[in-house]
Amino acid sequence: MPDDHRAQFERDYDRSIFSTPVKRLQDKAQVFPLEPNDAIRTRLTHSLEVAAVARGLATNVAAWLYEKDEISYEQQRWVEAIAATCGLIHDLGNPPFGHAGEDAIRGWFVKRKSKIKKLLIEPQLCQDFLNFEGNAQTLRLVSKLQILSDFNGLNLTFGTLSAACKYTAASHQTKNGSQALKKTGYFASEVDVVKEVRKATGTGDARNPIAFLVEAADDIVYSVADIEDAVKKGLLRWSDLKERFQSIIGDKSTHLAKPAMQSILMRKWEILGKPNEDVQKLMADDTHGSAFRTAAIAYMVPEAVKAFQVNYDDIMLGKHKTELVEYSSLREIVKEFKTIGKEKVYPNKSTVKLELMGRKVIEDLMTFFLEGAQNMPLTGEPKAKDFKGRISTLLSRNYREVFQDSCRRGAQPEIYHRYQLVTDYVCGMTDTFAKQLHSDLMNG
């Protein structure tokens, strides 16, 4: 397209936002599964917010790098576009029902651990399932599973794929002590992609610097947004939060988050126009919650930029081992927000019940579709001559074609790809589709 003035990295964002996996995020839980209140975040609204904050962080960092003569004016746009795209796609690999869904998939494989170890002798092949991770599934999804004109997924640039790798360890090489190695970063099926990306970008096995910005954006957004959503749902009252925050900034308080909390609450009242006491009483809790969210993000973004600048040399040398939010006052304020979430938001009875239901749904679907995957032919369409064959026909045609192509390539054992076929299909489901399909299959 001769009149298309977008950079290739900007096309990555556009290609991603029109993709089916991004559309499915509108019916995947962020915190509250199957939430009827449309004001509460889904995984899609969360991802759009992370993309926006990641772009903001990248804009500030890129401008700083341009002033230092580290990058060109054109490269500023590239950094911003890559960060925004990675923010948008960072949760694509998550299964239905959020982190409860991830736990359910890992648990399903752990129950079959002895059999899997006999079938998959190589450590990584086995650990890909026992240490299943949504981030690694994201890389698989965008690089392999979305068939357009080939088997290269969304055909994203190497730069975007590199920055999208939040974790850099294979499933059998995870370890504590380094944020990048804490969880599974890629499966054996994507080793070829990882090698190609690392060679093209020159990162080696170190994190891409932009990945630090996207990770910080995710931490900032969800630590604040989960509290705002809890207020909107009525699980938290602003008066309770106000009391907790005021205890942090009290005259005798020695809380490490004190300066940050003072700045955030001061900014909150500026946003609300410093209403008098009578007007304050009339304000809805969610008005206070939204102003708090705005003020908190406005405080934390510049702090994250400073953290990146302070650690820039180590980041570029691949020596930086921790998150950006571990630095400056960000650490204590994010820690406090996450503590509120753990104490007041996530243990909510209705949420826990839905998570338990989600686990049951995923475990049953994995068991059911394993029969179909085990009988999937290596070429052509599945034959519906018997019950197991008919199950095979229910599996996504897209994923069936990827399975058959992977078997033709022969890089991993056939049984490995059959297990992946089940995982790919269930991971790609939305919350509502998974729940309804489970009901249809189990209840007739």
Same domain for 355 and 316:
no
Q: Does some domain include residue 3?
A: no
Q: Is residue 214 part of a domain?
A: no
Q: How confident is the model at residue 99 (pLDDT cuts 50, 70, 90)?
A: confident
From CA 270, how far away is CA 400, in angstroms rounded?
55
Are 169 and 194 within one domain?
yes
Residue 277: what pLDDT?
65
User: Could you tell me if 182 and 230 lie in one domain?
Assistant: no
For 37, other C-beta atoms within 10 Å of its C-beta total 10
What does the chain come to in residues?
A: 444
Top-confidence residue, 31 or 87: 87
DSSP string, 128-183: HHHT--HHHHHHHIIIIIS-SSSSSTT---HHHHHHH-S--EETTS--TT-GGGSS
Residue 2, domain member (yes or no): no
What pTM was computed for the model? 0.93
Residue 136 in any domain: the answer is yes
361 and 342 in a common domain: no
- Give the model's confidence band at 149: pLDDT under 50 very low, under 70 low, under 90 confident, else very high: low
In a domain, residue 216? The reply is: no
Listed residues 141, 175, 209: the one ending a domain: 209
Quote the pLDDT of residue 47.
97
Please check whether residue 124 is in contact with residue 155, taking contact to mean a CB–CB distance below 8 angstroms.
no
> In 3-state terms, what secondary structure has residue 369?
helix
CA angle 250–251–257, rounded 5-degree value: 50
Q: In the predicted model, what is the mean pLDDT of residues 93-116?
A: 94
What is the average pLDDT across 40-55?
A: 95
Q: What is the pLDDT of residue 282?
A: 61
- Decide if pLDDT at 295 tops 90: yes
Q: What is the pLDDT of residues 210-257, one digit of tens each?
A: 999 999 999 999 999 999 988 888 888 988 898 899 899 988 888 888
pLDDT at res. 365: 96
pLDDT at 150: 74
Both 323 and 363 in one domain: the answer is no
Last residue of a domain, one of 348, 364, 388: 348
Residue 6 has pLDDT above 90, yes or no: no
- Domain match, 14 and 149 both: yes
Does residue 68 fall inside a structural domain?
A: yes
Which one, of 312, 316, 304, 321, lies nearest residue 57 by Cα?
304
Last residue of a domain, one of 348, 381, 413: 348
In a shared domain, residues 120 and 201: yes
- For residue 174, the domain's CATH number is 1.10.3210.10
The share of the chain scoring above pLDDT 90, in percent, equals 69
Residues 339 and 356 in one domain: no
Q: How many domains does the chain have?
A: 3
Confidence at 35, pLDDT banded by 50, 70, 90: confident
Domain of 419, in residue numbers: 350-443
- Quick one: 338 and 359 in the same domain? no
Highest mean pLDDT among 74-83, 140-149, 239-248: 74-83
Q: What is the pLDDT of residue 56?
A: 97
Q: What mean pLDDT value characterizes the chain? A: 91
> Does the pLDDT value for residue 361 go beyond 90?
yes
| Within a domain: 140 | yes
Same domain, yes or no, for 298 and 258? Answer: yes
DSSP characters for 307-346? Answer: HHHHTHHHHHTT---S-GGGSTTHHHHHHHHHHHIIIIIT
Nearest to 183, CA basis, from 159, 162, 165: 165
The answer on 193 and 60 residing in a single domain is yes
For residue 215, tell me if it sits in a domain. no
Q: For position 386, what pLDDT does the model report?
A: 74
Q: Looking at the structure, tell me whether residues 354 and 307 fall in a common domain.
A: no
Residue 256, judged by CB atoms within 10 A of its CB (0-12, 13-18, 19+), counts as middle
